[in-house]
Amino acid sequence: MGVVILDGTTVRSFIEDEIEFNKTVDSRFNSLDLNSDGVLSRSELRNAFESFRLLESHFGISVVTPPQELTQLYDSIFEGFDEDHSGTVDLEEFRSEIKKIMLAIADGLGESPIQMVIEDDDQSFLKKAADLEASKIAQAM
């Protein structure tokens, strides 16, 4: 467990590092695509939301949210991802929606850094953003 300091700039530079960002998002996509058909179904994406602390904090999902409301919430999130309304989410849609969410988080954070407590095995995108910045600082020294 550790503590990272995050602000909007950290998150933004992660998004702007297209190679790193796509690599992270693509590998998440592949691990979510349980039946390896190249797209995410509604239930595959729902599994994803349950494992993304990022989305939980962004969409205000909490453990006390009643199941019915949760289903509605997941449905509306799914519609957000499924831009062409094909009923599945492809890699391009996934990348673009994650980017939008991360940008919204960056805007929300702005210039005021927040401390985030993270587990060592944390797979969240925010942890990734913090790691990337740390490695760049290390390289510059």
Interface residue list for Ca ion (CB under 5 A): 33, 35, 37
Distance separating alpha carbons of residues 129 and 8, to the nearest angstrom: 10
Q: How far is the CB of 33 from Ca ion (least distance, A)?
A: 4
Q: How far is the CB of 32 from Ca ion (least distance, A)?
A: 8
- Indicate the residue among 9 and 41 with the shorter CB distance to Ca ion: 41
Q: How many angstroms separate the Cα of 101 from the Cα of each of 3, 66, 81, 105?
A: 22, 24, 10, 6
Phi and psi dihedrals of 71, rounded to 5?
-60, -45
What are the beta bridge partners of residue 5?
115
- Indicate the residue among 18 and 37 with the shorter CB distance to Ca ion: 37
Q: How far is the CB of 25 from Ca ion (least distance, A)?
A: 16
